[in-house]
Structure 1
Amino acid sequence: MDPLSQILRLAGAEATLSTGLVASGRWSVALPATQALKCNVIREGECVLAVGSERRQLSVGDCFLVAPDRPFLIGTDLADPRPAAEVFAGTGGRLHASIDGGEGPRFRAIGGRMELGPVTGLIADALPPLVILTAEKAASKRIGWLMDRLEEEQNFARAGASAIAGAAMQMIFVELIRALPEERPRGWLAALDDPRIGPALHAIHADPAHPWRIETLAGLAHLSRSQFSARFRTAVGQAPMDYVLHWRMTLARQALTRPGMTVARVAEELGYSSESAFGAAFRRVMGTSPRRAARPPASVTQERSADADIGM
């Protein structure tokens, strides 16, 4: 399994469909910051999108992705935005909320959200506040096809429509995330496609228990030790062996929460010769002992319910 798929699966990162928006005339909405990734696809009309100090004009077929903890404004006139909680109140199971801003072109957008847990920090850290894919991009065309399929299912409400919509939304997020290196050629996601660093990252993720050494990883990159270490740190933000250690401990933290899993077994699966050596490494990275980390975590459902989706 490739590293991006591995991380998304390990984190249980699931995309869900949000209530979309239909509007006309002069209108704008203020969306609050959430702990999730938010994306939307412009299906009709035009709008202005503002995230922080960045403002962009969007039109049909454009897609955008907003990083966690970033509020944003969207509309044709951003001077007096309505709160999202007001706009999307009482929409129930409807596909869109509506704003009548008077005469003017019709606007329609639909999108969703994806929760990001601790394991997906590599993705979140690589994201700028805003990613925009314009309509002519190949990824945007694939996303448009997925949106066609999603809306078809929602409109006809056939058996399994929600499952298909969720799967389509998941694919849309993956398309947006993996298009990031083209838009921002730095960070972990871009490093996966680096012809020198990518093979080393793929090898680490494919076999984290292997006794990796700088020489071995540098050989995969066809670089000297010093060249590889410098290029890896620049691309990923960590030294190679620090990355190996942190990835192992990330896997360990997830494994320790599985029913019936023991510290000794996790240590063995990750290539440690003794439980004590594994415990020392785990405490150094995670700041707690493996046994404490093995205690049942707080309910993910409870955590997410505090950050309810109010649309877009």
Structure 2
Amino acid sequence: MSEKANNAELEKFNLSHRQQGRTISSLSQLSMSGVFYTHSTMRQPWGVTMPAIPLSTMFHLILDGEAIVSISDKRITLGAGDFILMPRGKGHDIVDINNTPASGLFEQNIEQVTEHYEKLTSKGKGPITTALCGTVLFENEITASIINSMPDYVLIPANSEAHQPIASIVKAIQLETESEGYGAGLIVAKLADVLILQCIRAWVSQLSGDNPNWLMAHTDKRLSPVMELIHTDPAANINIAVLAGLARMSRTTFIDYFKKVVGQTPKKYITDWRLALAKTRLIGSSDNVLNIALEVGYQSEASFSRAYKAKFGVPPSQTKRGE
């Protein structure tokens, strides 16, 4: 192989690793705050309506039997071992294979076992479907940003490469929520972090090159240096001309392309990222508001406070006090 070809391969290898590093940098901000878990044993006929739950993700792992999930006018048939995630906590129905009409979750026969674990059984006499179902809560603004970029559902079939680790984590969460032993809450939250990360990884592996999601920008050869600058140095004096130059595009072409891939204009994405980062630091840092404002690219506390209140409805000082 010629030296030129070797250099090209090396650059390709290095680029791949830089892109992976940038994606991990964003995903490292993911943080779940709690899990509610249900072991469901359902005999036909049965059907359950799951209400929408803001700032959550929901999932179902079918252990035995079959089920149909209806969400956003789509019907997804699930068999034994199949796993489905609703990243944004969107309301949906899960029903038997005969499409029995669903009734509300709180109309079901539910037995509370521990604070975070319950059992649901139906009154039917027909074939049984068993499932592990969960609701994972989050409060972190960056987590919300990541989750909100995802589709209404992510399906991970039993025969996919991603299935085994996901199923193992779901069952580990079940054991912890059942026992409620020492440190169970913390362990479950950490397991939930890993579960959602595994689901995101599985979802990313399913994406096509033209999927309009910000996560794809990390592996887009034109936008990856743009995302690197935005994410690694939020205090930098970033303007559209600089970003367009990094992407090797004209200003207008860059704005249109960024919006197509990420789903937001560059200006809005930068603002949302900086403010989400600031909110996390306000909660977890002892730094004063001005220092945090400077860290995320604002030149004064006043301008930062205006932007922060416009987005979150409260001044940064109130977030810092935990009110």
User: TM-score, normalised to structure 2's length?
Assistant: 0.75
Amino acid at match of 2:228: H
Q: Offset at 1:100?
A: 3.8
Q: 1:169 to 1:254 in 2, by over 3 A?
A: closer
Distance 1:48 1:196, change over 3 A: same
Q: Which amino acid in 2 is paired with 1:37?
A: T
CA distance in 1 between counterparts of 2:91 and 2:310 reads: 31
Secondary structure of 2:169's aligned partner: helix
Question: 2:151 — aligned with what?
Answer: 128
- Displacement of 1:299 in angstroms is 6.7
The one-letter code of the counterpart of 2:145 is: L
1:307 alignment counterpart: none
Q: Which residue does the alignment assign to 1:82?
A: 103
Question: Structure 1 residue aligned with 2:264, among 230, 238, 244?
Answer: 238
2:288 corresponding residue in structure 1: 262
Judge conservation of contact 2:64–2:131 (CA < 8 Å) in 1.
yes
**Cα contact 2:33–2:138 (8 A) shared by 1:** yes
Classify the secondary structure of the residue corresponding to 1:235: helix
Tell me what 1:29 maps to: 48
User: CA separation in 2, counterparts of 1:254 and 1:106?
Assistant: 41
Tell me if structure 2 keeps the 8 A contact 1:180–1:190. Answer: no
Which stretches in structure 2 are left out of the alignment for 5+ residues? 1-23
CA contact (8 A) 1:20 1:109 kept: yes
Q: Cα distance, 1:223 vs. partner?
A: 4.9
What residue is the counterpart of 1:195 in the other structure? Answer: 221
SS in 2 for 1:132: strand
Distance 1:270 1:172, change over 3 A: closer
Q: Which has the higher contact order (CA 8 A, sep 6+)?
A: 1
Contact 1:61–1:135, Cα closer than 8 Å, also in 2: yes
Distance 1:290 1:109 in 2: 37
SS at match of 2:315: helix
Note the residue ranges of structure 1 that are not aligned, 5 or more in a row: 301-312
* Count of residues in correspondence between the two structures: 293
Q: 1:222 to 1:145 in 2, by over 3 A?
A: farther
Deviations 1:65-99 (A, max 9, x none): 22446321112144332321132544232553222
The equivalences for 1:5-16 within 5 A come to 5-6=28-29, 8-9=30-31, 13-16=32-35
Does the aligned pair in 1 maintain the 2:49–2:91 contact within 8 Å?
Answer: yes
Q: Which residue of 1 aligns with 2:6?
A: none
d(CA) in 1 for partners of 2:182 and 2:307? Answer: 50
- In structure 2, the residue matched to 1:293 is 316
Report the Cα distance in structure 2 between the residues aligned to 1:289 and 1:144, rounded to whole angstroms. 36
Is the counterpart of residue 251 in structure 1 residue 270 in structure 2? no
Instruction: Provide the secondary structure at the position in 1 that maps to 2:52.
Output: coil
Shift of 1:25: 2.7
Quick check: 1:131–1:183 contact (8 Å CA) kept in 2? no
Summarize the Cα distance change of 1:151–1:286 in structure 2 as closer, same or farther, 3 Å threshold. Answer: closer
Measured after TM superposition, the shift of residue 30 of structure 1 is: 1.5
Superposition deviation, residue 49 in structure 1: 0.8
Instruction: Check conservation: 1:114, 1:173, Cα contact below 8 A.
Output: no
Q: What is residue 160 of structure 2 aligned with on the other side?
A: 137
Q: Tell me by how many angstroms 1:120 deviates.
A: 3.8
1:193 positional shift: 3.2
Deviation digits for residues 248-288 of structure 1 (CA, Å, limit 9, x no counterpart): 2333344445675433322332344x42xx52355256428
Q: Is the CA contact 1:61–1:134 (under 8 Å) kept in the aligned structure 2?
A: yes
Quote the RMSD (CA, aligned, Å). Answer: 3.4
Superposition deviation, residue 190 in structure 1: 2.8
Equivalent residues of 1:15, 1:173 under 8 A apart: no
Q: Distance in 2 between matches of 1:289 and 1:150?
A: 32
Question: Would the alpha carbon gap of residues 55 and 4 (structure 1) be closer, same or farther in structure 2, given more than 3 Å must change?
Answer: same
